[in-house]
Amino acid sequence: MSGSFIALNSVLHLSKHELDTMKVRFVDRNEETTAYKEYMKSPSNVNDGWFLWRTKIDRFRIGESGMCLMRLPKNSDLWLLTTIKTIVRELAPKGSVPGPAYMGEEWSSLRPFYGRLIIRYHKSRPVLVRLNTIIDDLTVDSILSSAVTWNME
């Protein structure tokens, strides 16, 4: 990376405990569509669906917090912060059909950044990682003046 950059945590101001315990879920695409297309229809498609989805692997536990980063089209190193939530309830029992498996409580203190904060990160790790293992590689690319808009179809 050339020039100066802004570290993600200089904007979010997460505590050491939050950095050490938070997970990051990268959402991109499935066999049918992209997370971006679904987000443009309605942010809840990603924030309550893709982000909290479980197939066979448990992604979260009650009490854990997670950050959702959605890949943006045209540049695979750009990700949009869509939400940060603390898991408060399990919606579906383990081993049930794939689908949204958790209910999360959104961090309202960071709501001004949801849909506006674009993060630069070259993803070379799995879909879900601990934030503290990648925090030094997450930099702020830009902060939009308003949230990404979506269609209300």
Residue 132 DSSP label: G
Q: 107 or 97, which is more confident?
A: 107
Q: How far apart are CA 132 and CA 73, in angstroms?
A: 26
pLDDT, tens digit (0-9, with 9 covering 90-100), for 108-129: 999 999 999 999 999 987 889 9
Cut 0.85: pTM above it: yes
Per the DSSP assignment, residues forming a β-bridge with 65 are 86
Report CA Rg, the chain.
15
* HSE-up of residue 60 (Cα within 13 Å, Cβ side): 30
Structure token digits, residue 82: 């869509």
pLDDT, tens digit (0-9, with 9 covering 90-100), for 9-32: 999 999 999 999 999 999 999 889
Contact of 11 with 117, CB cutoff 8 Å: yes
